[in-house]
Amino acid sequence: MNPALSSHEPSRERLANPFARYVLATRPAFLTITLAGCLLGFATAVAGGAAFGWERALVTLLLALLAHAGINVLNDYCDHLNGTDARNTQRIYPFTGGSRFIQNGVLSPRQVQVFAIVLFAVTIAGGLWLLSVAGAGLFWIGLAGLAIGWGYSAPPLQLNSRGVGELCVATGFLLVVAGADYAQRGAWAPLPWLAGAPYALLVANILYINQFPDRAADRASGKLHWVARLQPAVAAWGYGLILLLAALALLGGILLGALPLAAALALVAWIPAVLAWRQLQRFAAIPEQLAPAIKLTLLAAHALPLLLAAILLFSRGF
């Protein structure tokens, strides 16, 4: 089936409600990965002895989701400018190829651009209040997160086009965990960084596998990430490398004594990820077959932080 004719993609006729258009333009179904990261950050703070504050937690979660939404919308706008989404005929909607809101005429490019600016502005305003009650260290976490989110897609940096997109994603989602922890704890601690590293790497694999269906369009648009630079069969090994790094990060946290031995149980999250890797190796050059592998990758990236958060809390006696 030609993806350009997909009945699942958004259209102006289906989204007559303006509010629904803007909400769905943020790709809300994919914001749950940020929710999982925040929950892990809250768990590391409580496991470290911090008193849990519901007000700070809710504001932290809201701001993290708004930041992620703004980055998604900005990415759509930038991929409109460079033409990659318009060229993308191998996309697997809704996982790859952008939201299609600009390409399908649901929102104009200007509306998407302004919406991204508004989301970033609201995030910054709320962040200023949060750091006033949580501590100035949160400023640097928020600043780094927004800078990475902007530089990932927007010119002149366009970091994903330069082959460091996975590093940006891993760093950004590691900051989600660290920020959620800091907002509760009010101080720096090593635990959120060590607990967040394997989660952040599994999230990076979401980006990595999603680039296979987008590969042809990205190459034509000059988005030369590693999947675009390498032959598909070779690029598929990169997914396995990131999986290995994530496992080593988890085991490293255990060996350093920062994570309890029970944290090894979180390795169960690697089961769907390994299954996804096997499918990727088989279908790397046939990207239309990768939807099941993408879903398994999403499952692994959600399961790990939730399992690790539960293990940390139960290990402390909650």
Structure tokens at 292: 């099941």
pLDDT at residue number 156: 93
Structure tokens at 317: 């006696």
Low-confidence ranges of the chain (pLDDT < 50): 1-5
Indicate the DSSP class of residue 95. T
pLDDT at residue number 316: 78
Count CB-CB contacts under 10 A for residue 228. Answer: 22
Confirm if 199 and 60 have CB atoms less than 8 A apart: no
CA separation for the pair 257, 259 (Å, rounded): 6
Segments making up each domain of the chain, as ranges: 3-316
CA separation for the pair 114, 74 (Å, rounded): 9
Q: String of b and e for 27-44 (b: at least 16 CB within 10 Å)?
A: beebbebbbbbbbbbbbb
CA dihedral 299, 93, 164, 309 (to 10 degrees): -20
What confidence tens digit (pLDDT) does each residue in 65-92 have? 999 999 999 999 999 999 999 999 999 9
CA separation for the pair 216, 175 (Å, rounded): 31
What confidence tens digit (pLDDT) does each residue in 187-235 have? 999 999 999 999 999 999 999 999 999 999 999 999 999 999 999 999 9
